[in-house]
């Protein structure tokens, strides 16, 4: 009798165990990522279960779950979350083959994989700003735009920008920049899209943002259709290498808790496939990291974007606390 029951239990659980899905914790939003996950499933026959949330929330969850976490992959929006996960020992090492493609942007540890990047930019209302500054450091001197600039002091990419400013030009220069900007009475927003709509409608002349928000508002993406098609708003890139052109990667890593590392690595490799990289460029307006990936006309060609962008060692983004302290000190956080 026992044997029969055991056999039955085996028959019932074995196929289930085999079909256990790959569990991905994704800080990337569902609308942007879901179609790609479905394509991966269709091509590989591997089922994927995604838990969506904010990077920071998912990172805390991973810490709380510890070794019992069901997660196989952590896919994040921000380099800070990836570095913190790496420093907390959550990521397993990745094989050389997967790391080779985006090697020049990857962390020295080799424990997570950059997938795409975004650029910090100055969004400009056409016609009213004839000569935008060549460096973001010169923005506070533009007194003519007092009260006409938008920014998002509590938004993660802005915080990352301040971290880069501190790392490159020092604490004092970062403080001076923040105070100089404050003296221009910029309008503070909690999110980027409303700020860009104000820019499109003429309530602002300039806005510090990420490149894809300008494109989302003008051309649309999976998250929303164009909210201001044809708006007289354009992207201004500062001079090549200026810290105002900070590049911020999104990326993913295989977790130490992964039940089947090879399967999780296959998911990461897929994110760097021609198909997925093209998807990010055309559907999400992000810069692909795979050399030779075509980009839509409203994005810079990849090599040009790389030439202009400013890259900071990923490790620097872990020291967010010191940046938050500075932002609190000047009354912005
Ligand atoms: Fe964003």
pLDDT at site 104: 81
Q: Taking the model in full, what pTM does it have?
A: 0.91
The answer on 143 and 35 residing in a single domain is no
Q: Are the C-beta atoms of residues 153 and 182 closer than 8 Å to each other? A: no
Q: List, run by run, the mean pLDDT of 10-residue segments along the chain (333 residues).
A: 54 56 97 96 98 97 98 96 96 91 86 97 95 97 97 96 97 98 98 98 98 96 94 97 97 97 97 97 96 93 94 90 96 94
pLDDT at site 105: 87
**CA 211 to ligand 1 centroid distance, Å:** 9
pLDDT at site 14: 47
What Cα–Cα distance (Å) separates residue 29 from each residue in 75, 166, 208? Answer: 10, 29, 22
pLDDT at site 101: 82
**CA 29 to ligand 1 centroid distance, Å:** 10
Residue-by-residue DSSP string for 214-236: HHHHHH--SS---SSTT-SEEEE
- Count: domains in the chain: 2
CA distance 81 to 188: 24
**CA 157 to ligand 1 centroid distance, Å:** 7
**CA 283 to ligand 1 centroid distance, Å:** 15
pLDDT at site 78: 93
The answer on 179 and 130 residing in a single domain is yes
Cβ-Cβ contacts under 8 Å for 162 (sequence gap 6 or more): 174, 178, 323, 326, 327
**CA 173 to ligand 1 centroid distance, Å:** 26
Bridge partner list, 150: 187, 207
pLDDT at site 16: 46
pLDDT at site 8: 52
Return the DSSP state at 109.
Answer: T
**CA 192 to ligand 1 centroid distance, Å:** 8
The answer on 13 and 69 residing in a single domain is yes
Q: Are the C-beta atoms of residues 123 and 233 closer than 8 Å to each other? A: yes
pLDDT at site 117: 97
Do the domain assignments include residue 307? no
**CA 327 to ligand 1 centroid distance, Å:** 19
Do the domain assignments include residue 178? yes
**CA 38 to ligand 1 centroid distance, Å:** 23
């Amino acid at each position: 009798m026992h044997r029969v029951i055991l056999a039955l239990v085996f028959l019932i659980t074995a196929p289930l165990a085999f079909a256990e899905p790959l569990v991905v914790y994704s800080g990337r939003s569902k609308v942007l990522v879901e179609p790609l996950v479905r394509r991966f499933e269709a091509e590989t026959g591997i089922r994927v279960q995604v838990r969506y949330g904010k990077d920071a929330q998912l990172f805390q969850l991973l810490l709380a779950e510890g070794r019992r976490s069901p997660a196989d992959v952590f896919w994040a929006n921000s380099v800070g979350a990836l570095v913190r996960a790496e420093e907390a020992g959550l990521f397993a090492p990745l094989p050389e083959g997967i790391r080779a493609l985006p090697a020049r942007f990857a962390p020295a540890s080799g424990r997570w994989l950059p997938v795409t990047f975004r650029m910090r930019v100055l969004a400009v209302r056409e016609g009213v700003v004839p000569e935008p500054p060549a460096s973001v450091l010169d923005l506070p001197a533009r007194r003519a735009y007092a009260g006409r600039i938008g920014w998002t002091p509590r938004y993660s990419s802005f915080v990352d920008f301040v971290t880069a400013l501190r790392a490159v030009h020092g604490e004092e220069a970062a403080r001076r920049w923040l105070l100089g900007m404050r003296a221009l009475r910029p309008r503070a927003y909690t999110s980027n899209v409303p700020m860009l709509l104000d820019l499109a409608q003429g309530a602002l002349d300039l806005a510090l943002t990420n490149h894809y928000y300008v494109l989302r508002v003008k051309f649309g993406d999976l998250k929303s259709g164009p909210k201001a098609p044809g708006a007289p708003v354009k992207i201004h890139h500062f001079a090549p290498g200026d810290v105002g052109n900070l590049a911020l990667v999104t990326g993913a890593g295989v977790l130490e808790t992964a039940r089947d590392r090879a399967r999780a690595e296959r998911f990461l490799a897929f994110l760097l496939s021609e198909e997925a990289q093209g998807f990010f460029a055309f559907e999400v307006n992000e810069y692909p990291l795979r050399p030779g990936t075509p980009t839509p006309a409203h994005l810079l060609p990849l090599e040009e974007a790389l030439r202009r962008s400013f890259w900071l060692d990923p490790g620097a983004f872990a020291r967010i606390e010191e940046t938050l302290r500075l932002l609190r000190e000047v009354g912005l956080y």
